[in-house]
Amino acid sequence: MSTVLISGASRGLGQALAGAFRDTGASVFSGAREATGPNDIELNVRSIPSCEEAVRRVVAVDRGIDVLVNNAGVHLGGPVTSLDQDAFKETLDVNLLGAWRLTKAAVPHMRRGGTIAMISSLSGLVGLPDDGAYAASKFALEGLSQSLAAEVAPLGLRVLIFEPGRVATEFAGVTDGLAPEIAARDIADAIRRRDTPFRNPIGADAARVFEALDVDRGERSEALVRAVTGCGWQPRPGE
């Protein structure tokens, strides 16, 4: 039975992800700012001590982590030149540094063969008007994940990025699109497979964007990284 830790799991896609993993028989720890349910653990990704304590609690029960899902996120809309500085900083702090903090805390306790999953966005591939703060956080998360993938591969860990299209979670005001339960199931299924590429569209609209932009699923970027540094992104067979 695998052990899964999910951030931002109190509602929306995170809550659906917790359900999808539980349906597979996994031991799931739902990270939330307020732990209200029996399977919740208190987790504030803006705090290093909170991330460390959440990981400690998981390890105290299951002795390790197999899957880390960095899902916690906030959205800030508006023209780039009109953004409030503190709100912009908060967006970066949650969406980018939050994933870094929790990953930093979790990696020493992850089992070989484990997966670090980053919930990114199509906004990490295309910057739209009035979406610059969110796009900046997700573009940065994509770059962070590429570096991380090469760094943790020798530990027997892999990094996967997921770029959902419109998901009906009310996040950023979206009430139409793919049902969160379907998006969550597709992500959970992809994480269970060992042949899943580095970058993954979720939903038909996301797949269309990938095709229109000829988005690299990871093969081309990894080849460039390997050519420059000699480091690949995927653990070697048997690791």
Catalytic center residues:
134
Structure tokens at 70: 């960095």
8 three-class SS: coil
Instruction: Find all residues with CB under 8 Å of 114, minimum gap 6, and list them.
Output: 65, 66, 67, 68, 156, 157, 158
H or E segment to which residue 21 belongs = helix 12-23
DSSP alpha helix (H) spans, 98-167: 98-106, 132-152
H or E segment to which residue 160 belongs = strand 158-164
Residue whose entry in the numeric block shows the structure tokens 């912009």: 88
**CA distance linking residue 29 with residue 221, whole number of Å:** 33
Structure tokens at 126: 């295309």
